Every structure is written in C-alpha cells, then in structure tokens.
Structure 1
Amino acid sequence: MSEIEVNSARWIGRDLHLELSGTGSRRAVLIRAIREAIRTGRLAPDTPLPPYRSLAVDLGIARNTVADAYAELVAEGWLTARQGSGTRVARRAEPLAAPRRRVRTGLPARPAGATHNLRQGQPDAASFPRTAWAASARRALNAAPNEAFGPGDPQGRPELRLALTDYLARVRGVRTHPDRIVICSGFAHALRLLFAGVLRGPAAVESYGLAFHRSILAAASIRTLPLGIDEHGADTDALAALPSARVAVLTPAHQFPTGGPLSPERRLAVLDWARARGGLVLEDDYDGEFRYDRRPVGAVQGMDPDRVVYVGSVSKSLSPAIRLGWMVLPEHLVDDVLAVKGVREAWAGVTDQLTLADFIEGGHYDRHIRRMRRRYRDRRDHLLAALAEHAPHVVATGIAAGLHAVLRLPGGSEPATVEAAARQGLTLDGLADFRHPDATGPAPDGLVVGYATPPDHSYPAAVEALCRSLRAAAQKQARPARPAVGSADPGPTRPKPAR
C-alpha cells in the first residue's frame, strides 16, 4: 500500500488524500481509490476534484491515465464533468458506508420538537460583532511581533494581560498588574487549574449553581459544602460552621442563578473569614458588565487582592465560542498556577488573544457591551411586560442585572410548568436543576429563563410560548383531580378546588 498526498496549486489550493492499494493497472487502482473516498463520505457530493493534468503531475503518471479514470467514473455516475466547472463528485453519489449521525455541538441537547430556546448561559449568537472583531484581528496580526507565532506563553500574551489590567481596573474595580494575570479558556478551565494541586481541602460553594462546576471539583477530589442563599447573596455567616473549608467559591456581583448581589456586609464578612482562616475567595464574575436598574457593583477582589482570585471571561459578553478567560491571582499563586498549566499554552489561541487585546484597547469592547446592555434590557422589559399581562401570578427576580431571570412559581408547580413548556416547544431550565444535592432549607419552585439566548426575530414568539406554558401549568394545578375510574364512592375523597 502507498499513500499519496495530492496538492495541486491549480486546484484552488485544495488537498486530496488518496490511498492507492491492491493490484491492477494504475488506472484501476486510481478508480478504486476515488470510489472508496466517495463511498465513505470523505469526498462529499459536489466536491471538486483536481484537474487531471495537475493530478497526473503530482502522481507521476500519464495524463491519459487520469483522464480515462475520470471518464469511467463519470460514466458510472460517481462524477460529473462540465465545461467551466471542472470535474466534481456527483450530487447523487451519496456515501454508502458512512452512517447518518447527529453532529454533537457540545451544548445541552434540545428536546425533540423544541422550537424555542430560553436556556440560560449564552448570549445572542447573532449579535456577535463580526465586522469590528475582524478589523481588530487584521490590525492585531499586522502589528504582532514574529515571536508571537512561536510556542505560546502559558501566562498569556502580554498585550492582552496589559489591556485587561486597564479594563478591569476601570470597569470592575480590580487591582492588579499584568504579571498577576494568567490567561485561561474560561471559568471551568480556571477551576481545573486551581484545584489541580494549587488549592486543597473542601470548598464552600453557593447552594445554587452549575452542577457542571461542582463536578469539576468532585473530579479533583474536592468536597463542596453548600452555603445558603437569600436576597442578600450567600450566607457568609455559615462559613464559621465549616472549619475544614479554606476556599469559598462565590458569584458576588450577580448570584447564579438566583440573581441577587452579595451585600456589602457579607462582602466584608467573607474577606474577614479568609484573612482569619488563611483562606481564599474565588470570585466568578461571569456577567458583571450587564446591569440595568442598579448602581455598578465592583469586584470583591478590589477590596483585598491578596485574598481573592478573580475569574472572568468573554463567554457571556462576546461569545462562548471564543475560548478566552482570565485569572487575576494573588502574587503568591502565580507560579503555582503556571506550573500546573505547563510550559506551553495548550488552550487559548494566540490570534484570539491578540485580537481581544486590540478589541479592548480600541474601545470596541466597551461599545459592544453598551449596545448589548441596551438590547438585553429591552428583552428583559419585554419579558416582564408579558408576564404582567398574561401570567400575573408569577414573580420575576434577579432582574436588575445579568442575562437571565428567575420566575418564582407556586409551590409544587415547577415540574408541571417545565412539562407544559416542553409541550409548547420551549426549552428552559427549572430552578431545582441548580440546587446543590446537600443543600438544606427551603427549595422554592421556579424557572431560570435566559432571555439573551434567542435571536431578535424569534424572541417574542419564545416569550409567548413561555406565557402559554405558565398559564397551562397554573390551570392544571387549580383544576380539581378527577375520581378514579370505577370508584364506588368518589364523593368523600374528591379534593376540593383550589381557591
């Protein structure tokens, strides 16, 4: 068997990998190789093939051999040939051996039949600033030094760390220096790095949060201890009852998912705890730029940079497809985190880092945030107006900031409401999905509604489907239960209608 890489400059820069094997003439071997590439789906319908003259030169065989092979495959229906468009795989030449399968996106699977998506966790993908981002990419690549295209520095490009130092100080009140910033791919990556030998022992976490984040800590053999949540954020007084905890993982600006900020008193209390315990606060500032009806809430890190690890990313502000985040570390942790990360950058691409640095320094990031803040505020207002008109029994909380709202439901109605939403073709999350399995205390019913997720044109229909779901669930809960079929005396056991 021999493997031949075909790379013809006249084939519009395309590469074609063929495996030539078996016995017979060069023509027969070439025909079998092309057929096999089509059968297995490696050559999709309408894919152009190299001109036979170029292919003949690259393979070192006669032009007539390639021309004859192409002609036979055209006659058999595998290929098509037209003047001016060259030779292509026939559109009806579907792969025979490649099974049809669903492409995995890495996002939560949408139930079959769902047409509306109000899941939390992602911004409106259609609003990504493509033109400004592309312009920043061109400028950044033109200005980048040659060494930028060598092995990546695990701490991150200095251009981005400098831009972040200024931006975070100005917008989030973070106090740091470029040397104390380590670039990562997002909060989940930061968790993996920090708990892979840098931070040890049980960690206090909020009783509501992402199960995915808790699973990362569990994989690192870190036990998570839940802190209660109320309208003032995490119950930091409860830290005193957790003597083994040395780390508190919090979302102070906008508790996820319930929505309230950590009160000033509790901010001071958690820092006092960290100093007395010799511990750290891990601050997840996942959507700190988006605020609507309240004054800006700065980062806890600005109050004590030596006791707080600040983590941010662009997953909510720009796109989760740009795998860029940052850790602002106490000075004594920088070397330890870099030792875990390794000698070369394996996660964050250099070109994206350079582009983001230009995007921030040129003011494009600020302009994008302001534009999206207005858009998301309008969406939130649309949601609240629709609820007031069509589902007045539902109370929305956590609405002063962020990209989602929590809809508080009557007790016991969450499962029925999620089920009703599915019948309306609507995908969303119940509040119970975010509750820590060891949490104690009240477990209110609710929905977590991501109003940033749908594109503008489909958002009103998604809100209408949500309101229909809420009404249907409320009517079902208020409807008296029917007696069992065949019951001899249903009267005494028939439940009374809810008032």
Structure 2
Amino acid sequence: MPHPVPAASAPLLEPAIELRRDEGRPLAVQLADALRRAAALGQLRGGDRLPSTRALARHLAVSRTVTAAAYEQLHAEGWIVGRHGSGTYVTTTPPGAPAAQPESAPGGGGGAPAGTIRLVPGSPWVSGIDRAAWRRAWRAAADRDPDEFRSPAGVEQYREAVVEHLLRHRGMAAGGPHPGTVLATGGTTAALAELAASALGPGATVAVEEPGYQRAVQTLLAAGVTVVPAPVDHAGIVVRDVPAGVRAVYCSPAHQYPLGGRLPAERRVALVERARAEGWLIVEDDYDGELRYDVAPLPVLASMAPDVVVHLGTTSKILTPTLGVGWLLGPERVVSRVLEHRERTSTGPAPAGQRVLVEYARNGDLGRHLRRLRRELSQRRGLVVSRLAESGVEVFGDEAGAHVVLPLPSAAAEQRVVARAAAHGIVLDGLRRHHHGPHRWTGIALGYASCSRGDLERSTALVARWCGEEVSGGGPASR
C-alpha cells in the first residue's frame, strides 16, 4: 500500500510512494520515479526538505541501498542537492519529471504544459534581452504620432535601419542595398507567401531544400506552387541535384535548416551560375545569419548576385517574434511585383514592430544585444557538445546559430528518443518531420537558446544518455 513520507523527517512533505516488489523494475528506479512524479504534480517543490536515506528506508521497509541509489540518481539529474549538516533538498521541478497532465481548457488549448523544457531549433534567447533597452525602445516608438496610412513598402526609417544592419552584421558591401530595394515584411514565411502570390504565381515550380523548412513548403503549396525537393548534404544544398525547369530555389546557405551546414564558396558560385543560365530566382532564407561565432558572419548571396537573389531576413531569431517583422531585399522587378500585390490586396506588415526596431537599433542596443547573444550561444554550444561527447554522441552542424544535429541510426531510434524526452517533460525535434518526401535523415535537431543554462545542462545530460544508448545499440528495443 502507499506509504506517506513521515512528516517528522520532512515537514510538510507527504507524497504517496508505492514500491512494488512484484514489478520487474528495481526498487531504486521505482522510488526515483515516484519522487519525480511527486515533484511534477506539485507535491514536492523547490526548497522542500526530503527525509534522510536512512529514515526513508526504515519507513518504506527497504534497504538503505535502495534509497541511497534513488537519491544518487536524482542528484546526478540535478534536481536534489545535499546541504552539509542540514539534509537533502529539492532544487527545482526536475527536467526528468513526467509532466503532469493539465486539464483541458474550455474550447481546447495549445502549447506545452508549464515547466516543459523546449530543446527545439528556432527559439530565441529572449531572457537575454536587456529589459531596460526593450522598454526604452517601446516608449520611444509610442512617442511618435499615429500613422494616418500604412506605406506598402514599410516605414522608411525601418528600411534604413535594415540597410544599416545588413552593412554592419551581414557583410553587405557599401553601395549595395538601399532603402528603395528593401521592403518591410511580417517575417520570412509572410514574405515567401507574398513572393508566391506575386513574383512566382500559381503553377510555378519551386525547389526547396530536403530536409528543409516545412513551413515554407506548406506556404508555397497553399499558394498553388508545385514543390520539388532539392537534396542537401552536410555542406548544404547540392547544386548539381537541383531539378531542371524550376522557377525558383528556396535555400538557407548561411546555416542550412535543419542540418546546420554552411554552403561553400564553390557551390555558391555554381548556384548563381545555374540561376542566371536557367532563369531561376534564388530565395535566400537568412533566418539566423547574424549568429555566427567561429568566424565573421558570411556575406549574403544577395551581395554576390543581386540580379537573381531575393534575400529574406527576420528579427524573430535574433530578438523575438513579438515584433513580427522582417525584410525582403531583391531585384527591382521582384520588389515591384510584391508592391503591386500589396496595393491590390491592401496588405503589408504592421508598422508598430518596425518602429520599435528602429528605436532599439538607434542607440546601438541591437548591436550590443547581438554581441551578447553570440557569446552566450557560443558558450551554450560548447556545453551541449561536451556533454554529448561524454556519451559518445556525434554532433554536426557549423559553429553558428542556436542548434546542433544529433544523428541517430534509424527512424525508430529517433521516435524512441523523442518519446522518452516527452515523457520527461522535454520537447525535442526529430529530423523526420523536416522532410516533404521520403525520409533520408534521422536524428535530433537540438536547440539550446530558449531555456535556462541549468535546464539546458540537466536536460542535455538525459538526451545524451538516451542518444548514446541508441547509437551503441543499447536502446530500450534491444534490451
């Protein structure tokens, strides 16, 4: 029967613990699971004191070896800590705790449960935004008079700020971009939707990296565009394998999504040469091109071939999706078609986020944030890679951006790791979902930007162990 932990040993702590000797799992494993579950359900909280291993063993009628082994496991996972002369205490809700099942909200609810750790790519480091600078930018933006009408191209000062940003942080040569070639957008996906409706049009065929950004695929399909795969390898898009007869090629040359490769110079040249020879547009998704910390950020393709490249940028990865803004830089014929589409449909990005970014960049706050962000992500990547290496897990992807890739031997192995993580309150992103066609790559795209350092270290240790078991052939299915 369930045994409440004695209040004398741990005041205010009475989680029910049931150990079954007829079960196949060791008693120490059952005890550790029970304590995790109590923390996930709120029965144990950060700062609560646990009973001593001796007192708990006596109360549960088990060997002290059982309680000591359970505490040792939980201590290794980082959610309990021993204080000399005081006892053992819960630190936080453990990353290894099964998430409590929330009650459904009226009308349904989305998103992950509270306390879930998201190790997924594409999430920004919002906790690192200087809150004083952030509030200052919003106040300054609000001091401007309300707009009487919305400019189809976007706020002029915003487009000027984008030009300055591209010059300083993306290596665009002076004299290249100017506000007349830049349009404000609602982000890369919104910009792609506008391109599909104007410069490409229904019935066009577009090659998209495979594996690649599936929101881009779905955006193009929704616009009536035919999507064909463009294979990638560790270095990015394989130019010779891009199908003939396409109207455009969508790619992420600075940091391929999701595999993380950097397109080498010879492939960049070959891509531009094919585009010019065959009449393509190259749609360059530069979703996190500013986030390079091994070398200086690579120049964008648009600076190399402004006649055939449409460059898409966003603030959602370097700052936050709150602003809801990005930019499009392209040949005059493309920019004109997008503007005509906006005039016809009376659509375009809202100016509020544009004005905030103008103010955030005006006094150098954007540049300071990017420098802090690069340092933080570099350190986080080092932490993740070292933890994975200890478990014998290979990592690939350039020293850039906010995610690495952990290859796994099979789709089944990927599914097992993702499922184990979900059971422990950790959200992982498998590579299989990044394919539009047959699955060629399996593994985990592990993001390291959005959670705290402590959560990152503890949860990465668990993921490293699970992936290591799969790579070595010791996963659950092989036991």
Superposition TM-score tier, normalisation by shorter sequence: 0.7 to 0.9
- In the other structure, the counterpart of 2:417 is 417
- Kindly report which structure 2 residues correspond to 1:143-154, keeping only aligned pairs within 5 A, or say none: 144=144, 146=145, 149-154=147-152
Matched, 1:257 2:262: no
Matched, 1:460 2:463: no
The residue type equivalent to 1:417 in the other structure is V
Residue 340 to residue 119, structure 1, CA distance change in 2 (3 Å): same
Distance 1:140 1:342 in 2: 26
- In the other structure, the counterpart of 2:394 is 395
Residue 136 to residue 479, structure 1, CA distance change in 2 (3 Å): closer
Residue 300 to residue 353, structure 1, CA distance change in 2 (3 Å): same
* Paired residue secondary structure (2:395): strand
The residue type equivalent to 1:437 in the other structure is G
The residue type equivalent to 2:152 in the other structure is P
- CA-to-aligned-CA distance 1:105-163 (integer Å, 9 cap, x gap): 6xxx43x6973211111112322332112212333444x4x4x5211112100001111
Residue 353 to residue 479, structure 1, CA distance change in 2 (3 Å): closer
- Which range is displaced more, 313-322 or 292-301? 292-301
Offset of residue 213 of structure 1: 1.5
Residue 138 to residue 113, structure 1, CA distance change in 2 (3 Å): closer
The residue type equivalent to 2:251 in the other structure is L
Matched, 1:101 2:101: no
- Kindly report which structure 2 residues correspond to 1:266-415, keeping only aligned pairs within 5 A, or say none: 266-342=267-343, 346=347, 348-389=349-390, 391-392=391-392, 394-412=393-411, 413-415=413-415
The residue type equivalent to 2:160 in the other structure is L
Gaps of 5+ in 2: 1-103
- CA-to-aligned-CA distance 1:282-317 (integer Å, 9 cap, x gap): 000000011122343110000111111000010000
Q: Which runs of 4+ in 1 moved over 6 A?
A: none
For the 8 Å contact 1:206–1:226, the answer to whether it is kept is: yes
- In the other structure, the counterpart of 2:211 is 208
For the 8 Å contact 2:123–2:450, the answer to whether it is kept is: yes
Percentage identity across paired residues of the two chains: 32
- Kindly report which structure 2 residues correspond to 1:169-184, keeping only aligned pairs within 5 A, or say none: 169-174=167-172, 175-184=176-185
Distance 2:320 2:346 in 1: 21
The residue type equivalent to 2:284 in the other structure is E
Distance 1:312 1:172 in 2: 10
Distance 1:352 1:297 in 2: 27
Matched, 1:161 2:159: yes
* Paired residue secondary structure (2:133): helix
- In the other structure, the counterpart of 2:34 is none
* Paired residue secondary structure (1:286): coil
Alignment: residue pair count: 370
Distance 1:480 1:334 in 2: 54
Residue 346 to residue 476, structure 1, CA distance change in 2 (3 Å): same
* Paired residue secondary structure (1:281): strand
Offset of residue 467 of structure 1: 2.5
- Kindly report which structure 2 residues correspond to 1:118-133, keeping only aligned pairs within 5 A, or say none: 118-133=119-134
Offset of residue 473 of structure 1: 4.1
- In the other structure, the counterpart of 2:238 is 235
The residue type equivalent to 1:101 in the other structure is P
Residue 473 to residue 346, structure 1, CA distance change in 2 (3 Å): same
The normalised TM-score by structure 1 is: 0.69
The residue type equivalent to 1:173 in the other structure is G
Q: CA RMSD in A?
A: 2.4
Structure number, greater radius of gyration: 1
Distance 1:314 1:292 in 2: 18
Distance 1:115 1:367 in 2: 30
Residue 177 to residue 480, structure 1, CA distance change in 2 (3 Å): closer
Selected match of 1:218 from 193, 217, 221? 221
The residue type equivalent to 2:221 in the other structure is A
